[in-house]
Amino acid sequence: MSRLVIDPVTRVEGHLRVEVQVDGGQVTEAYASSTMWRGIETILTGRDPRDAWLFAQRICGVCTTVHALASVRAVEDAVGAVPPRNARLLRDIIAASLSVHDHVVHFYHLQALDWVDPTAALAADPTRAAALAQSISNYPRSTAGLFAAVQTRLRVFLESGKIGPFTNGYWGHPAYRLSPEMNLIAFSHYLDALDFQRDYVRVHALLGGKNPHPQTYVVGGMASPIDLNSQDAINANTLQEVAQILQRGVEFVEQVFLPDLEAIAGAYPEWTTYGRGLGSYMVFGDYSASPPRVARPPRDGLFPGGVIRNGSLAVEPFDPAGIAESVAHSWFRYEQSDAALPPWLGETQPQYTGPEPPFEQLDVAGKYSWLKAPRYQGMAVEVGPLARLLVGYSLNDARIHPLVQGALDRLHLPPEALMSTLGRVLARGLETRLMAQHSLDLVAELRDNVASGDLAIADTGRWRPTSWPDGTLRGVGFHEAPRGALSHWVVIEGDRIRNYQAVVPTTWNASPRDADGNPGAYEASLVGTPVADPQRPLEVLRTLHSFDPCMACAAHLYDADGNDIIQVRVQ
């Protein structure tokens, strides 16, 4: 039996440490720890609620925009502001395009190299690679000449010895199984995806002023005027350019992302049996015509809300009152007791209890992470693309069911196979297809709405605090962010924030154990993962990366020590 420590886990945002017990060639126990904390919730306390989104958006530059959206929704819920349709559509276009951008970057640049070995691509025959690529997709860049050029570029790069982000990869690991040709195709698309994501994110500059962190949100709507015929507003030309960019997103997902994903899935079928984890899932629901509110979680949006328990594929309604956060194993202190607190009563008081660095192992019997442990009705749940597609599939949703069923049929898999490491990766890709198309549909809807004469962009009736209801105000903003169910909870007294709590997707998934000793989604999913070589735990990374970890969001944290080298210690 050996104890494996990976700290930090790389190709994630922020600092994540995992400690796993390996016995008989597989993981028998796992602990996930966020190793830094920053305290944005504390920074927000005492501020003007109308400014909250500007600060909250800085929680993360990866899922940029999502915290702005959840924040304005929370304050709007509290003060009773209702954003007009144009604002809702603009926000949803920004959010949907962020999902496409984020998922493409995650697949190619943060996850693909767990399945793709670029060093193996040197042995590929570019002509055969072209034939293979043309057999799975009509992407125009699948030529022997292009693959030969990419291979030469790769060879020069690898032989230079200065391989930057490819340093310390587990190249040649026996768990890599793609053909040299498929490795070459995937590596070529890794490069193409760099160009794609740079061009695609221009949508945020056109609609929100810049990326990351678009600047045009406001409590009650958006700050950017919209008028098809005005030079001083988002106009017909802007929307045409946005639609052209979003259309290229549909093409990239159809011609590149999904064919690569299904080729990889076909080569690693046993990964539908690893990484299942909790089997319980939670979705708030989003992309609905009615703004999500605490009393009325949306069931009519692109993503229907719901909760799945224990792999049942039966969906129960999501109840916002079910959320509470435990700090039993987290470096936080609650005033009264360690009992879990619902977010409006939440407290953010950091309290590091050791061990003092440098240390070999976390005190997993005590406190061991800067993440709280959010639970739904006391239950640990997984959030994210897989949760969203499982809920939609189980509810027989008109858009989600056929999308998922088509992929299952092509891969000859039963629905239960989705509850796995590979299923999580597959769900993210399928969701990208859904979001790419939805963003385009939203642009058409926005254009039609503005053409009909509706130029309203913000509800200013609740702008001044004197217009707000009396007494203590509470609000919640829900959003289905790329990594899953995101909620911001605000308590306002007078014209100031008295309490602000963000309960974030990666906090759900990377959560430490709760007071009952129940593990979070990463911890549960790692159990049973094979480890062929404890010095090179590639398989552990596959399952961790399948969640797309973002510790910056999860702990609202900040990198202080700049350490970027994987340390693997075997004891």
Question: Under the rule (CB under 5 A), what is the footprint of Mg ion?
Answer: 502
| C-alpha to C-alpha distance for 97 and 440, rounded to whole angstroms | 9
Q: What tokens does 323 get?
A: 């959320």
Segment near ligand NFE (CB under 6 A), from 319-327, 477-485, 535-543, 561-569? 477-485
Name 503's bridge partners: 487
Q: Is 556 marked as binding a ligand?
A: yes
Q: Of these partners, Mg ion, ligand NFE, none, which one is at the site of residue 434 (CB under 5 to 8 Å by kind)?
A: none
Q: How far is the CB of 343 from Mg ion (least distance, A)?
A: 8
Q: Is 63 marked as binding a ligand?
A: yes
What is each CA distance from 422 to 169, 348, 376, 429, 464, in whole angstroms? 20, 35, 25, 11, 50
Q: Which one, 178 or 253, has the nearer CB to ligand NFE?
A: 253
Other beta carbons less than 10 A from residue 366's beta carbon: 12
Q: How far is the CB of 507 from ligand NFE (least distance, A)?
A: 7
| 431 part of the interface to ligand NFE, by CB under 6 A | no
Q: Which one, 38 or 483, has the nearer CB to ligand NFE?
A: 483
What is each CA distance from 348 to 326, 333, 343, 351, in whole angstroms? 12, 8, 10, 10
- Packed helices 421-451 and 538-546: angle between N→C axes, nearest 10 degrees: 30
Instruction: Among 40, 413, 504, 521, indicate the residue that binds ligand NFE (CB under 6 A).
Output: 504
Q: What tokens does 340 get?
A: 């879990």
Angular region, 307: left φ>0, alpha ψ -120 to 50, beta rest: beta
How many DSSP H helices and E strands does the chain contain?
17, 14
Segment near ligand NFE (CB under 6 A), from 109-117, 368-376, 399-407, 476-484? 476-484
> Among all residues, whose Cβ is closest to Mg ion?
502
| 387 part of the interface to ligand NFE, by CB under 6 A | no
Q: Which one, 5 or 72, has the nearer CB to ligand NFE?
A: 72
User: DSSP class of residue 547?
Assistant: T
Phi, psi values for residue 28, rounded to 5°: -110, -15
Segment near ligand NFE (CB under 6 A), from 34-42, 345-353, 511-519, 547-555? 547-555
Contact 14, 554 (CB under 8 A): yes
Instruction: Among 13, 262, 325, 397, indicate the residue that binds ligand NFE (CB under 6 A).
Output: 13
Tell me the per-residue interface mask from 44 to 83 with ligand NFE, x by CB under 6 A, - otherwise.
----------------x-xx--x-----------------
Q: Is 213 marked as binding a ligand?
A: no
Contact 157, 79 (CB under 8 A): no
Q: How far is the CB of 553 from ligand NFE (least distance, A)?
A: 3
Q: How far is the CB of 80 from ligand NFE (least distance, A)?
A: 25
Instruction: Among 438, 483, 513, 545, indicate the residue that binds ligand NFE (CB under 6 A).
Output: 483
Name 98's bridge partners: none
Identify each DSSP E strand in 405-530 by its residue range.
473-481, 484-493, 496-503
Q: How far is the CB of 514 from Mg ion (least distance, A)?
A: 15
| C-alpha to C-alpha distance for 351 and 336, rounded to whole angstroms | 14
Q: Which residues are near ligand NFE by CB under 6 A?
A: 13, 60, 62-63, 66, 481-483, 486, 504-506, 550, 552-554
Binding site residue list? 41, 60, 63, 550, 553, 556
